[in-house]
Amino acid sequence: MNEVTTIQVGQTVPDFTLTTYEPTTNGFGTYSLAEARKNGKWTLLFFYPADYTFV
């Protein structure tokens, strides 16, 4: 078992980059937290179990 440290409220979220589908352009892209921070943006992460299930 790997020891995993969970991020707590008040802590800094480490930078991450995820591959995305972008419905506005019908293309694929990436989302980078570092990029959002650079642009002074908030990030709302909305996790859900799987596509084709209700959100």
Site for other proteins contains 25 (CB under 8 A): no
Site for other proteins in 1-20 (CB under 8 A): 4-16, 18-20
Of 20, 44, 40, the closest CA to residue 31 belongs to: 20
Site for other proteins in 26-45 (CB under 8 A): 26, 28-29, 31, 33, 36-37, 40-45
Contact (CB, 8 A) for 33 and 16: yes
1-to-4, 6, 43, 44 alpha-carbon distances in Å? 9, 15, 31, 30
Using CB under 8 A, list all residues that contact other proteins. Answer: 4-16, 18-24, 26, 28-29, 31, 33, 36-37, 40-52, 54-55
